[in-house]
Amino acid sequence: MKPGPHTTIALKSSCVVGFDGTQHVLWRDGEVVFQGSHIVFVGRGYSGPVDQWIDYGNALIGPGFIDLDALGDLDSTVLTLDNGDEPNMGRMWSEAYLAAGPKESYSAEEEVFKYRYAFTQLIRNGITTAMPITSMYYREWAETYDEFAAVAGVAAELGLRTYLGPCYMSGMSYWRADGTLGHHWDEARGLAGLDAAERFFTDFEGAHAGLIRGALLPDRIQTCTPALLQRTAALSRELNAPVRLHCCQGLDEVAMVKHLRGASPLAWLEQLGLLTPRSVLPHGIYTDGLSDLQRLAQSGASVVHCPVVFARDGEALQSFGRYQAQGINLALGTDTWPADLLDNMRQGLNIARLMEGGNTLTSALDMYNAATLGGAKALGRDDIGRLAPGAKADITVFSLRGMHLGPLFDPLKNLVLAGRGDDCIASYIDGRCVMHDGQVQGVDYPTLQQQAQRQFATLMRSHSVRAAGQPDWKTLFKPAIPYADDYSAQAPLSVIDPLS
């Protein structure tokens, strides 16, 4: 239950991450006091009137995490793990599927449910602000206004601070029968999608007492035409709206943009007026070297780093520390399951040091800053991602009692080295307690998980119609260890039907 606007609540714990106006600072035996939706005190020895004191004991109270590529889906990327190429498993459209006419894999109700499931996972992992992302390959096209009106309701119900808008695009890549890559374009549909996004922004910007904010979310740079991106840039200026655009995330994408547009992805965005402080760019991996890094730094655009999802395929940002040294603002995203930013910090730190050949350019604090201050800067905000008087009461509590954390020597280092998302035991967003003792308020976990499992089975089955030749869907997903009662030399391995 959200306290009233004049209710004063004080939290205390063994460690509190405050903000001194420039940087995060650590208070031992610290206190955080908030009234309504805003923080009024961070430190020790608060002497004002308090309606309720809550002592979390041995825990780290800190700012909520900001996830700017937050999984809003039942994750499909996990299906590719050790299962071969995406074209062969129906994670890209085949020419026959495109000719027959793409269709939705989920019902309208199921589309909204996937957000409820994902938003619950985000809150459980200490994420208080999210800009969600979902896959388009299993959609008939892109997302809709009505769908996102419902999604906004789900976010408000759960209490998650979100930047929302229906994804739009003017094209989709597909695999021709001869094995070459084709590109299907529908300019009118892309521009209609942008109109829907503008309508959503106008109707929902600041909705639910400011918990819901609007954003322009074109799909990927290679699925957007020049006209669509030019109009997106103009609308972003007019509305002062953030624009998130996935780019520099694959060699095929870079080659395609250079072939079609005659420039690197970032150079092309610069030409279109889409490199600005409002630009939020996952993933920034494949660039044209120093010239592209200088473009990013000079423009004020932010790179959203999602280390885990790329490491699974053997890819990594060239150097987190060198990007940072160039003056590029870095934020963090999950983009896959699990929705665990602590895991992304840990793996991101290790990967950065491998890529950089040493341990001097990237620190644990750099990763934590990206998940808090960097995300806030990308959104043009100075009232989230920090605990300070006047900031929003977006607060997380991470238990430091877990034996898996080892002996405590530094709360942040212990969490980055050994912590996990479910060490988050409580979360407050806009002053509302949205999770207590690890339980997201109003959510029946077993029921939620059962429905997610049923819906995931629907997604897995849908792969068959998109794959060339429409193979039995069970042959597309091979278990890591063959099932003893299902294996024969004559037949491919199959997975257990989740609905059986």
The answer as to whether 389 is a domain residue is no
Structure pTM? 0.95
Across 106-133, average pLDDT: 98
Tell whether the model's pLDDT for residue 301 goes beyond 90: yes
Number of domains in the chain: 1
Q: What is the pLDDT of residue 237?
A: 98
173's enclosing H/E stretch is: strand 171-175
Tell whether the model's pLDDT for residue 495 goes beyond 60: no
Q: Which residue matches tokens 């885990």?
A: 308
Q: Classify strands 8-19 and 52-55 as parallel, antiparallel or unpaired.
A: parallel
- Distance between CA atoms of 123 and 236, rounded to whole angstroms? 29
421-441 pLDDT per residue, tens:
999 999 999 999 999 999 999
Backbone angles phi, psi at 359, to 5 degrees: -120, 20
Residue 253, domain CATH: 3.20.20.140
Closest CA to 256 of 374, 171, 381: 171
The answer as to whether 99 is a domain residue is yes
Length of the chain: 500
Tell whether the model's pLDDT for residue 488 goes beyond 80: no
Asked if 252 and 242 touch (Cβ cutoff 8 Å), the reply is: no
Across 17-23, average pLDDT: 98
Q: Classify strands 171-175 and 93-94 as parallel, antiparallel or unpaired.
A: parallel
Alpha carbon 29 to its chain centroid, in Å, reads: 32
| 306 confidence band (pLDDT: 50, 70, 90) | very high
Long-range contacts of 80-88, Cβ-Cβ distance < 8 Å, separation of 24 or more: 81/312, 82/478, 82/480, 83/476, 83/477, 83/478, 87/175, 87/467, 87/468, 88/467, 88/468, 88/476
The answer as to whether 163 is a domain residue is yes
Q: What is the pLDDT of residue 494?
A: 42
The angle at the Cα of 251, spanning 248 to 255, to the nearest 5 degrees, equals 95
Whole-angstrom distance between the N-terminal and C-terminal Cα of the chain?
A: 39
Q: What is the pLDDT of residue 490?
A: 39
Asked if 167 and 139 touch (Cβ cutoff 8 Å), the reply is: no
Across 464-488, average pLDDT: 83
39's enclosing H/E stretch is: strand 38-43
Task: For residue 195, count other CB atoms closer than 10 A to its CB.
Answer: 14
SS3 190: helix
Tell whether the model's pLDDT for residue 158 goes beyond 90: yes
List the single range of 55-59, 84-88, 113-117, 255-259 with lowest mean pLDDT.
84-88
Q: Report the percentage of the chain scoring pLDDT > 90.
A: 88
Asked if 451 and 113 touch (Cβ cutoff 8 Å), the reply is: yes
Q: What is the pLDDT of residue 481?
A: 86
The answer as to whether 318 is a domain residue is yes
Closest CA to 166 of 117, 130, 132, 140: 132
Across 203-221, average pLDDT: 97
Q: What is the pLDDT of residue 485?
A: 74
197's enclosing H/E stretch is: helix 187-204
Q: Which residue matches tokens 């206004």?
A: 145
Q: Which residue matches tokens 């089975």?
A: 457
Tell whether the model's pLDDT for residue 376 goes beyond 80: yes
Q: What is the pLDDT of residue 486?
A: 57
Report residue 305 as tokens. 């780093």
Across 177-200, average pLDDT: 96
SS3 176: coil
The answer as to whether 438 is a domain residue is no
Report residue 460 as tokens. 């897995």
Tell whether the model's pLDDT for residue 77 goes beyond 90: no
Q: What is the pLDDT of residue 471?
A: 92
Task: For residue 178, count other CB atoms closer than 10 A to its CB.
Answer: 7
Tell whether the model's pLDDT for residue 389 goes beyond 90: yes
Report residue 276 as tokens. 């600005």
Residue 399's beta-bridge partner residues? 59
| DSSP string over 116-138 | HHHHHHHHHTTEEEEEEE--STT
Closest CA to 9 of 78, 43, 44, 55: 55
Task: For residue 122, count other CB atoms closer than 10 A to its CB.
Answer: 29
Tell whether the model's pLDDT for residue 29 goes beyond 80: yes
The answer as to whether 367 is a domain residue is yes
Domain that holds residue 229: 64-383
Distances (CA, A) of 170 to 141, 223, 249, 472: 9, 6, 19, 31
Across 384-390, average pLDDT: 98
Residue 448: burial class (beta carbons within 10 Å; 0-12, 13-18, 19+): middle
Higher-confidence position of 297 and 480: 297
Residue 140 neighbours by CB under 8 Å, 6+ apart: 102, 103, 104
Alpha carbon 25 to its chain centroid, in Å, reads: 26
Asked if 243 and 300 touch (Cβ cutoff 8 Å), the reply is: no
Distances (CA, A) of 97 to 93, 139, 177: 6, 12, 11
309-348 pLDDT per residue, tens:
999 999 999 999 999 999 999 999 999 999 999 999 999 9
The answer as to whether 5 is a domain residue is no
The answer as to whether 190 is a domain residue is yes
| 2 confidence band (pLDDT: 50, 70, 90) | low
Higher-confidence position of 463 and 496: 463
Across 229-241, average pLDDT: 98
Across 167-172, average pLDDT: 97
